[in-house]
Structure 1
């Protein structure tokens, strides 16, 4: 079931409303829940705490938190965020992902290398001096300027 519930990142009433709407849609308070966070990293701590406090399903339902990169600005902020998340969620509940890895070709490149006898002989450390990744998008930073001002395209792509 997919539904949209508007709210603020830091408003407990909005998260209580989100929980209420989820219960209404699933017709039960123990349904499994996924939270996919494609948010500015600066709000991860507030949002994840409020999800944990107000939006957990009742047992036997489980919760999964999917956190999209960048996962902090640097090692220190990444570690800080991990410590924060572990206060509210178990590692089993947390998934840290790179949305770009969902692209089909990127997902299948390892399979392609090992499944193709010709490629498997030449795609190795003795035959490849460098790997260049070219990232092209048809869109600009529309609506994402604040994000790129804080994190930048290089950190976004390499994180």
Structure 2
């Protein structure tokens, strides 16, 4: 298995991540038909600001950078230790991503395991996440890592 360790994001990494995350999240929401394209990036920025009101210093939040054995950053993750819908003893994984040049090398599985470990170390008993239905690679990863579907949204174009 490919090895990664996680460390807290630096302020510079946080700023870069916020810009990239808003763009990526907005595109996913638009592609899923949940948001209009116009204003989607600003909406994502606003949502992230609400969820991370103190940025890197937001309490009960893990903002992590994954690094390989040589110390090279290969990915990132964002975990809220308090579930957004108040599920007891359940953290929420808002973002996990391996940088494009490092994909397909086992880093995603290693990062997910490292995130689970870091979350477990805080005393939280479960980790939940959302995944877009079109993201079959991530769905396969989560399924093989033991995640169960607990809710499911479905849509049919009419």
- TM-score, normalised to structure 1's length? 0.31
Q: What TM-score comes out, normalization by structure 2 length?
A: 0.31
Which structure: greater helix fraction? Answer: 1
The structure having more radius of gyration, on CA atoms, is: 1
